[in-house]
């Protein structure tokens, strides 16, 4: 599903220089950052972490070995947090831990698959699972995670939850295929880029944040939370793409540029400095050439422009949350959404 903020050109994005949803004179909430927001669901997150470990267990020893290898490496656990906050924002009562694990299991499965497709060397600070255990068992363990997530969605959220999850996972697969088809194509457009990230990243985030409302049959609120998730998910991926051009993030930088992957920062940079596109059309940068070319991209202001675009989409998503009753949970969702653009890793 496309976010409500679909843009049609780089020119449209360039005009969005500040968040659109802030109101003059609006009092600041006490929940202004991710720490306070996550504190509201700290007990749920702890319970979900324990449940996640249990859910990747199997009497087939290779499954917990491979899946547990990635679980133990940690992660942001963004999707469980959004599931909890979204559910509580619509009055979901009772235990949430297992429902919170659905999106994380899908995410884990997709990471295991992605590293095989991309032949990634490192994931979450350690050797990628397929390099540690082999590609075949890693792919099949990814399948296990996806299947376990679908079963869990049915158990915890019912028919509507598992149906909408199937739609999201379908979109994720489409997004990954589209990204593969556009790989190295410097003629890729903004519309094509957004089509990829809306499917491969935003679709699952949107499902997670709306899962509680879907499970309890609150259709109008589910639609609002889903639209918020689409906007925040788009902004989250844009920020990831910006961080690939930064240093000191804890991740290997420059991978997108080495692959000539057309992300929003590169689209902005090539529009501002056509010589960047000319250089990339000749060949992919070598490791020796990469630092200078990354600096050239940064010098265009493309990173700041991309983050401004991401902030704009977050604010548009937050405005949609007006369909929900005012609560500390809704305010926490807003705070977490804004943080996803301001994070440093």
Q: What is the DSSP string of 118-140?
A: HT-SEETTEE-HHHHH-HHHHHH
User: Domain locations in the chain?
Assistant: 10-15+31-342
Q: Is residue 251 scored above 70 in pLDDT?
A: no
Q: Is residue 84 scored above 60 in pLDDT?
A: yes
Q: What is the mean pLDDT of the chain?
A: 88
Q: What is the pLDDT of residues 189-230, one digit of tens each?
A: 999 999 999 999 999 999 999 999 999 999 999 999 999 999
CATH architecture of 10-15+31-342: Orthogonal Bundle (1.10)
Identify the residue with better confidence: 317 or 5: 317
Q: Is residue 4 scored above 90 in pLDDT?
A: no
Predicted TM-score (pTM) of this structure: 0.88
* Cβ-based burial of 53 (10 A; exposed 0-12, middle 13-18, buried ≥19): middle
Q: Is residue 67 scored above 50 in pLDDT?
A: yes
Q: What is the pLDDT of residues 117-152, one digit of tens each?
A: 887 777 877 888 889 888 899 999 999 999 999 999
Q: Which position has the token pair 């109101």?
A: 23
Q: What is the pLDDT of residues 20-35, one digit of tens each?
A: 332 323 333 445 678 8
Task: Please enumerate in sequence order all residues whose Cβ is within 8 A of that of 277, keeping only pairs 6 or more positions apart, or say none.
Answer: 186, 270
Identify the residue with better confidence: 157 or 126: 157
């Amino acid at each position: 599903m496309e976010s409500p903020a679909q843009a049609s050109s780089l020119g449209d994005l360039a005009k969005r220089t500040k968040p659109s949803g802030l109101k003059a004179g609006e009092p600041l909430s006490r929940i202004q950052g991710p720490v306070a927001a996550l504190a509201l669901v700290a007990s749920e997150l702890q319970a979900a972490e324990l449940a996640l470990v249990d859910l990747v267990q199997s009497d087939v020893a290779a499954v917990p070995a491979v899946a547990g290898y990635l679980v133990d490496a940690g992660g942001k656990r963004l999707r469980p947090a959004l599931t909890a906050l979204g559910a509580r924002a619509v009055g979901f009562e009772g235990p949430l831990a297992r429902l919170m694990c659905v999106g994380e299991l899908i995410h884990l499965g997709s990471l295991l698959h992605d590293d095989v497709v991309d032949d990634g060397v490192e994931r979450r600070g350690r050797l990628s699972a397929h390099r540690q255990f082999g590609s075949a068992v890693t792919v099949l363990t990814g399948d296990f995670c996806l299947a376990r997530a679908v079963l869990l969605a049915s158990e915890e959220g019912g028919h509507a939850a598992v149906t909408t999850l199937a739609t999201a996972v379908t979109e994720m697969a489409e997004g990954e295929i589209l990204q593969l088809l556009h790989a190295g194509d410097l003629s890729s457009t903004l519309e094509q880029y957004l089509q990829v990230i809306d499917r491969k990243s935003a679709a699952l985030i949107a499902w997670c944040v709306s899962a509680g409302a879907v499970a309890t049959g609150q259709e109008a609120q589910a639609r609002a939370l889903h639209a918020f998730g689409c906007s925040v998910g788009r902004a989250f991926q844009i920020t990831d793409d910006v961080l690939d051009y930064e240093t000191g993030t804890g991740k290997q930088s420059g991978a997108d540029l080495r692959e000539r992957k057309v992300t929003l920062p590169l689209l902005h940079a090539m529009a501002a400095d056509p010589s960047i596109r000319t250089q990339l059309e000749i060949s992919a940068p070598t490791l020796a050439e990469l630092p200078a070319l990354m600096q050239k991209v940064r010098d265009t202001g493309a990173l700041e422009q991309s983050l401004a675009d991401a902030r704009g989409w977050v604010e548009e998503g937050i405005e949609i949350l007006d369909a929900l009753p005012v609560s500390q949970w809704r305010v926490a969702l807003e705070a977490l959404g804004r943080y996803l653009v301001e994070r440093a890793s």
